[in-house]
Structure 1
Amino acid sequence: MDDRSKVRTGLAAVAALCAVATAPGPAGQAWAAPADGAAEARPYRTEGTLIHGTDDAEGAPLLKPGLGYVDSIAAGQRRYYSVRLDATSGAYVSAVAAPRPGAGVVSYQDRVKVTLASPDGTTCGSSDRKIEANGVAYPIADYVARQVASGSVASCRKAGRYVVTVERGAGSQDPAGWPLELRLMVEPPVKGGDTGQAPEGSWRTTPPELPKGKARSRQGGTGFNDARPLSTGVWADQIRPGETHFYRVPVDWGQRLDATAELPAGKTGEAAGVNDALGLRVFNPARGLTKKSSFEAYEGQEAQAEADTVPVAYGNRSARADYSVRTMSFAGWYYLAVTVNPDVTRFFKGSVPLTVRVRISGTAKAGPTYDGDAVGAGFGLTDADRRGAAQGPATGDDAVAAADDTDKGRLRMVGYVSYAVGALLLLGLGGWTLAARRRTPAAAAPAAGPGRHRRYGPPPAW
Structure 2
Amino acid sequence: MIRRWRTTAGRRGTGRAAPLGVRRGAALGVPFAAALALAALLPATLVSLASPARADDGSRYAFAPDARTVTGAKNTADAVPLEPGETYRSSLPDKGKLYFRLELAAATDAYVPVTAVPPPDATVSASDGITVSVEDANGISCHYDSARFGAGLSPRPITALGRREAGGTLCKDAGTYYLVVERAVSGSRTTTPGSWDLEIAPATEPALAGTGATTAPETWNSASPEPLTEDPHRATGGAGFSTARTLDQGVWQTDITPGQTLYYAIPVAWGRQLHATVDLGSTGGDAHGYVNVALNLSLYNPVRGYVDDVSLGYDGTQKSSSLDPLPPVAYANRYAVSGEQNAVRFAGAYYLVVHLTGQTADTFGPGPYGVTLRVRLDGTPNSGPEYAGSSVPKGLFDASSDQGSLGTTTGDDHTAMRALAVAGIGTGTALLLVLGVWTLTARRAQIRVNAQKPTA
Q: With the length of structure 1 as denominator, give the TM-score of the two structures.
A: 0.72
SS at match of 1:225: helix
Residue 280 of structure 2 contacts residue 371 of structure 2 at CA under 8 Å; is this kept in 1? yes
Share of identical aligned residues, percent? Answer: 31
- Matches of 1:129 and 1:383, distance apart in 2: 28
What's 2:119 paired with? Answer: 100
With over 3 angstroms needed to count, the CA separation of the structure-2 counterparts of 1:357 and 1:390, relative to structure 1, is farther
Contact 1:253–1:312 (Cα < 8 Å) also in 2: yes
1:180 to 2:198 alignment: yes
- What residue in structure 1 maps to residue 162 of structure 2? 144
Segment drifting more, 266-275 vs 133-142: 266-275
- 1:50 maps to what in 2? 69
Q: Match of 2:50?
A: none
* Residue of structure 2 equivalent to 1:318: 335
Instruction: Specify every segment of 5 or more residues in structure 2 that has no aligned partner in the other structure, as ranges.
Output: 1-55, 420-456
Which residue identity does 1:335 align to in structure 2? Answer: Y
Verify: 1:238 aligned to 2:274, yes or no. no
Give the counterpart letter for 1:207 in structure 2.
S
1:76 Cα deviation from its structure 2 partner: 2.2
Distance 1:183 1:393, change over 3 A: same
Question: Aligned equivalents of 1:360 and 1:168: distance in 2?
Answer: 36
CA contact (8 A) 1:249 1:389 kept: no
Residues 1:82 and 2:101 aligned together: yes
Q: 1:4 maps to what in 2?
A: none
Question: Among 176, 180, 191, which residue is 1:165 paired with?
Answer: 180
Q: Do the aligned partners of 1:185 and 1:377 also contact (CA within 8 Å) in 2?
A: no
Shift of 1:164: 0.8
* 1:268 Cα deviation from its structure 2 partner: 4.5
Q: Return the alpha-carbon distance in structure 2 between the equivalents of residues 391 and 169 of structure 1.
A: 37
Contact 2:208–2:387 (CA<8 Å) still a contact in 1? yes
Q: Report the alpha carbon displacement of residue 259 of structure 1 after superposing the two structures with TM.
A: 0.7
Deviation at 1:194, TM superposition (A): 4.0
**In 1, Cα distance between the equivalents of 2:411 and 2:281?**
26
Q: CA RMSD in A?
A: 2.4
State the distance in 1 between where 2:200 and 2:314 align. Answer: 34
Q: 1:63 to 1:272 in 2, by over 3 A?
A: same
Greater shift, 252-261 or 159-168, is seen at 252-261
Out of 48, 71, 78, the position equivalent to 1:59 is: 78
Amino acid aligned to 2:159 = A
Structure 1 243/76 Cα, relative in aligned 2: closer, same or farther at 3 Å? same
Match of 2:238 in 1: 221
> Using a 3 Å threshold, how does the CA distance of structure 1 residues 385 and 62 change in structure 2: closer, same or farther?
closer
Matched, 1:334 2:353: no
The equivalent position to 2:131 in structure 1, one of 113, 125, 143, is: 113
State which of 308, 314, 319 in structure 2 corresponds to 1:303.
319
| 3-state SS of 2:77 partner | coil
Contact 1:102 1:242 in 2 (8 A): no
Whether the 8 Å CA contact 2:123–2:155 is kept in 1: the answer is yes
Partner AA of 1:222 in structure 2: A
Query: What corresponds to 1:410 in structure 2?
Result: none
How many Å separate the matches in 1 of 2:270 and 2:234?
28
Contact 1:96 1:139 in 2 (8 A): yes
Does the CA-based 8 Å contact 1:267-1:347 persist in structure 2? no
Residue equivalent to 1:424: none
Please state whether the residue corresponding to 1:157 is helix, strand or coil. coil
Q: Distance in 2 between matches of 1:264 and 1:119?
A: 51
2:207 is equivalent to residue 192 of structure 1 = no
CA distance in 1, matches of 2:251, 2:166: 40
Task: Supply the distance in 1 between the matched residues of 2:88 and 2:211 (Cα, whole angstroms).
Answer: 31
Distance 1:393 1:41, change over 3 A: closer
CA distance in 2, matches of 1:107, 1:76: 18
Partner in structure 1 of residue 375 of structure 2: 358
In structure 2, how many angstroms separate the alpha carbons of the residues matched to 1:153 and 1:273? 49
For residues 92-148 of structure 1, give each alpha carbon's deviation from its aligned partner in whole angstroms, at most 9, with x where no partner exists.
Answer: 01100012334211101x120001011222111010221112421121112122112
User: Which structure carries more relative contact order (alpha carbon 8 Å, separation 6+)?
Assistant: 2
| Cα pair distance change 1:213/1:196, threshold 3 Å | same
Alpha-carbon shift at residue 214 of structure 1 (Å): 1.1
Contact 2:259 2:356 in 1 (8 A): yes
Gaps of 5+ in 1: 1-38, 402-462
Aligned partners of 1:95, 1:121: CA distance in 2, in Å? 20
How far is the alpha carbon of 1:377 from its aligned partner?
Answer: 4.8
Per-residue deviation, 1:347 = 2.7
Letter in 1 for 2:381: A
Q: Give the aligned residue type for 1:169.
A: A
Q: Does 1:279 align with 2:296?
A: yes
2-structure distance, mates of 1:184, 1:332: 16
Q: How many aligned residue pairs are there?
A: 354
Mapped to 1, the partners of 2:174 and 2:142 lie a distance apart of 13
When residues 70 and 390 of structure 1 are mapped into structure 2, their CA distance, relative to the original with a 3 A threshold, is: closer
Distance 1:281 1:267 in 2: 26
Q: How has the CA–CA distance of structure 1 residues 240 and 64 changed in structure 2, closer, same or farther, with 3 Å as cutoff?
A: same
Give the AA of the match of 1:342. Answer: G
User: 1:164 is aligned with what amino acid?
Assistant: L
What is the CA–CA distance in structure 1 between the aligned matches of 2:219 and 2:353, rounded to whole Å?
A: 28
SS at match of 1:315: helix
Matches within 5 A, 1:408-419: none
Could you say which structure has the larger radius of gyration? 1
- Give the Cα separation in 2 of the matches to 1:392 and 1:41: 21
Shift in CA distance, 381/396, structure 1 to aligned 2, threshold 3 Å: closer
Measured in 1, the distance between the counterparts of 2:354 and 2:149 equals 14
Q: 1:22-61 alignment to 2 at 5 Å?
A: 41-47=58-64, 48-61=67-80
What is the CA distance between 1:385 and its match in structure 2?
4.8
User: Where do 1:203-214 residues align within 5 Å?
Assistant: 205-214=222-231
Q: Distance in 1 between matches of 2:415 and 2:242?
A: 24
Kindly indicate whether residue 150 of structure 2 is the aligned counterpart of residue 132 of structure 1: yes
* Letter matched to residue 330 of structure 1: F
- Counterpart of 1:177, as a letter, is S
Distance 1:79 1:391 in 2: 37
TM-score normalized with structure 2 length: 0.73
Are the counterparts in 1 of residues 130 and 160 from structure 2 also a CA contact under 8 Å?
no
Offset at residue 361 of structure 1 (A): 1.1
